[in-house]
Chain A
Amino acid sequence: MTLAGNAVVARIADELGPGGMVATFGLVAGVLVFGLLVGRELLRLRDAPDQRFEVVDAALLPLLLAFAVAVAVRLYGLLAG
């Protein structure tokens, strides 16, 4: 049981580190959020129609959430490690 627990913890630690799934997905989500937000603001500055914002906002929210979770998990990992 302990060995299995340790293995799970080690696996999570691996995924948090460079090249790990959580780290990579979090970074991709962050880059997408950054790009979408900049694009959204540029659209707004050019008085784009409202439908475009709906599409962008629908994509933004889950990505922002994913990025926030990845950041929190990485910070926790750094603190615990």
Chain B
Amino acid sequence: MREVSPARGPFPQIEPSPTGGAIELVPSRRAGFFRAAAARGAQVAAAIGAPLVTGVSLAVWAVALRTVDVRGMDDLGLVSVLPPAVLVASILMVVAYLAEVARRSLRSRLLALLLAAVIVALYALPSAVESMPRIAVTWFHAGFGEHVMRTGTVAPELEARFNWPGFFILSAFITQIGGADNPLRLAHWAPLVFNLLYAPALLVIFRALTGDPRLPWVAILLFYLANWIGQDYFAPQAMTYLLHLTVLAIVLAAFPARGPSPLARLIRAVPKRWLRPGVAADLAQRPGRGVPATTRRSGLFVVTVLVFAAIVPSHQLTPFLTTAAIVTLILARRCSLLTLPVIMAVATAAFITYLTVPFLAGHLGSVLAEVGDVGATVGSNVTQRIGGSEQHRFVVAARLVFAVGLWLVAAVGGLRAVMSAPRDWTAVLLVVSPFPMLGLQAYGGELLLRIYLFSLPFTAFLAARVLVGERAAESVEPRRLAVPRTAVAVIAGAALVLSLMVTRYGNERVDLMTPDEVAAVERLYALAPFGSLLVGGAGNMPWKHHHYEQYDYFPVTDEILQGDPNAVADLMLDRRYAEAFLILTRSQRAYGEVLFGLPPDAWPHFESELASSPRFRLVYVNRDARIYQLVRAEEATSAGGRPGFGAHVADGRSLAGRGRP
């Protein structure tokens, strides 16, 4: 990627003709002309190459996606049905981006556009090939928002998550002013939107951490190539993560501590002649940019407090992680707002002790019981996740290997950051700051994932330091990347794209929700009167998205794993409910097979057992779902206990025409 400078390049020697009008090349200089033309071509290619490659790749990506059949997915997830053209196009976009980063002069606006294209290629994939919002929890969250829209209030006793209703209220508000009837309309493209929104905050954070203009762009790309956690769907944590990054970006950019850190002060005490050449000069400068004026800083401080005030009622975990990050910045002398952690602690404590009482009243004991039990937390976060089908175990192993690999590379970058001038512990401490949460609770087996996510910006930053190089990371001057380093970055980028497809979309067979499943759930709501008991083979299905509080829900995964219809019927035989329905869907089956290793013939076998059971009546069936109604004893007696009643139900039609008014 060498540029030929016009000043140094052999430009053609053109002489005017004696007649004055025509131009004629001197024959002996023809070779020079061609060399110059080639040089000019190389210049033009260097100027438009990256955007051209990205544009063409994006077009190829979009066209190739039209051939994807998501129903053919196996337990490796989305990667098993992606055409090679999609993967090649994504890799080319990453390569074009890195080539642009490696240019002598950075074009920030163009880089931002190329980055947006990469984010689209990596994060719009499932939304582009699936017709329904993915991930079952998305549907529950839409249901909370719909509850707010319909009733004008929240119901914290319904579900623990409803005790932190900020996101659901906001989604209801946006849905209402948009004229839609359900927040589900916002959910389909949420991962892409959230990831695009993360980028500006990340860029500000990275620019505040280094004076090098190139390092932030590499770090941000690494962040997106390593974000396999998938917590950016339509969920409170996706929004609060954005707010968390915003708080960090403001604090790092606008409120640097006055004076050097204690560590830098110690190094400054060393006589300059003992230091390596350049180190003394490096110590004189702090990485990062200028500080805004006093008035603007006051405004930014108020914004910081307001943003944090929006985090507190929206998510359980994020306030603690944001506070930990701010405390870390103060310890690293990168934040001058010494009272900010106290403000954050007061807001969090007041909200939890006063406004989450319905949750705490029943769970405080169990929450506190997990405090300090790091072994159990790590066990539930790591070892219990290694299971399921053979292909799924491969996906989980890939995630673990990737995470450990990234942390190792970041460790090298961290060592360089703290051992070479200007010594800066900030990123290293920010990587570590979420880890004390391990001592608090297991968070349903998800805490390690959240820790990975909250440390990821800084892990990516330190890893990028290794790729960009130590000297380049320290320098405030634009510096081109060396060719071998660029080659390594390109190869790593391509490998990371492929890895992301496996690690991020490895559960896609479970996360996919098909139109037939949605149609079946809508039919279920039409069949079941309010107050009914709705039982699912697992909670993994597109339900609860409206009239959440009008039904009781119960998953019977264990009973299905045992293959015992009578155990399911016994559970459903609760006199408190006028009606009880069982729904079995494709996504539940995928959940059992992928995550629990259910044999492929177990689900059809259970369905045939249900069909022959006199205790169930098949009332609806389509390609991806079946609905059974519980037959109570007296009803079975009057009907003559006809087994196999459901065998006469036609596809997609219901025999029970009774619906909710």
- Answer whether A71 and B349 are a contact pair too, CB < 8 Å, given A78-B357, A78-B360: yes
Which one of A23, A38, A45, A46 contacts B305 once the chains associate, using CB atoms below 8 Å?
Answer: A38
- In this complex, the interface size class of chain B, counting residues with CB under 8 Å from chain A, is 20 to 34
- For the residues of A in contact with B, the DSSP-based class is helix
Q: Could you tell me if B294 and A47 are in contact, using CB atoms closer than 8 angstroms?
A: yes
Residues 26 to 80 of chain A near chain B (Cβ within 8 Å)? 26-27, 30-31, 33-34, 37-38, 40-42, 45-47, 64, 67, 70-71, 74-75, 78-79
Residues 4 to 22 of chain B near chain A (Cβ within 8 Å)? none
Cβ of A5 < 8 Å from any Cβ of B? no
Of B337, B339, B361, B368, most A-chain CB atoms within 10 Å: B339
Residues of B within 8 A of A23 (CB): 354
Which one of B294, B340, B350, B364 contacts A78 once the chains associate, using CB atoms below 8 Å?
Answer: B364
Q: Could you tell me if B346 and A67 are in contact, using CB atoms closer than 8 angstroms?
A: yes
Which one of B302, B347, B353, B360 contacts A34 once the chains associate, using CB atoms below 8 Å?
Answer: B347
How far in angstroms is the closest Cβ of chain A from B310?
A: 14
Residues of B within 8 A of A26 (CB): 353
Bound-state Cα–Cα, A47 to B298, Å: 11
Bound-state Cα–Cα, A37 to B364, Å: 29
Which one of A27, A31, A41 contacts B337 once the chains associate, using CB atoms below 8 Å?
Answer: A41
- Answer whether A34 and B294 are a contact pair too, CB < 8 Å, given A27-B354, A42-B302, A74-B353: no
Q: Could you tell me if B353 and A45 are in contact, using CB atoms closer than 8 angstroms?
A: no
Residues of A within 8 A of B350 (CB): 27, 30-31, 34, 67, 71
Which one of B298, B354, B361 contacts A42 once the chains associate, using CB atoms below 8 Å?
Answer: B298
Cβ of B385 < 8 Å from any Cβ of A? no
- Answer whether A30 and B346 are a contact pair too, CB < 8 Å, given A42-B298, A45-B294, A45-B297: yes
Select from chain A the residue with minimum beta-carbon distance to B357: A78
- Answer whether A41 and B340 are a contact pair too, CB < 8 Å, given A30-B350, A67-B346: yes
Which one of A46, A64, A71 contacts B298 once the chains associate, using CB atoms below 8 Å?
Answer: A46
Bound-state Cα–Cα, A12 to B337, Å: 38
Residues of A within 8 A of B342 (CB): 37, 64
Residues of B within 8 A of A27 (CB): 350, 354
Bound-state Cα–Cα, A21 to B350, Å: 16
Q: Could you tell me if B361 and A81 are in contact, using CB atoms closer than 8 angstroms?
A: yes
Residues 344 to 369 of chain B near chain A (Cβ within 8 Å)? 346-347, 349-350, 353-354, 357, 360-361, 364-365, 368
Cβ of B301 < 8 Å from any Cβ of A? yes
Q: Could you tell me if A78 and B346 are in contact, using CB atoms closer than 8 angstroms?
A: no
Residues of B within 8 A of A75 (CB): 353, 360, 364
Cβ of B343 < 8 Å from any Cβ of A? yes
Of A45, A47, A64, A81, most B-chain CB atoms within 10 Å: A45
Select from chain B the residue with minimum beta-carbon distance to A40: B339
Q: Could you tell me if A79 and B354 are in contact, using CB atoms closer than 8 angstroms?
A: no
Q: Could you tell me if A34 and B298 are in contact, using CB atoms closer than 8 angstroms?
A: no
Q: Could you tell me if B294 and A30 are in contact, using CB atoms closer than 8 angstroms?
A: no
Q: Could you tell me if A78 and B298 are in contact, using CB atoms closer than 8 angstroms?
A: no
Residues of A within 8 A of B298 (CB): 42, 45-46
Of B301, B302, B349, B361, most A-chain CB atoms within 10 Å: B349
Bound-state Cα–Cα, A27 to B472, Å: 52
Bound-state Cα–Cα, A30 to B283, Å: 42
19 A/B residue pairs, CB under 8 Å, sorted by A: A23-B354, A26-B353, A30-B349, A33-B346, A34-B350, A37-B343, A38-B302, A38-B343, A40-B339, A41-B337, A41-B343, A42-B301, A45-B297, A46-B294, A71-B350, A75-B353, A78-B361, A78-B364, A79-B364
Having A30-B350, A37-B339, A67-B349, one finds 14 other A-B pairs with CB under 8 Å, namely A27-B350, A33-B346, A34-B343, A34-B350, A37-B343, A37-B346, A40-B339, A41-B301, A41-B343, A67-B346, A67-B350, A75-B364, A78-B360, A78-B361
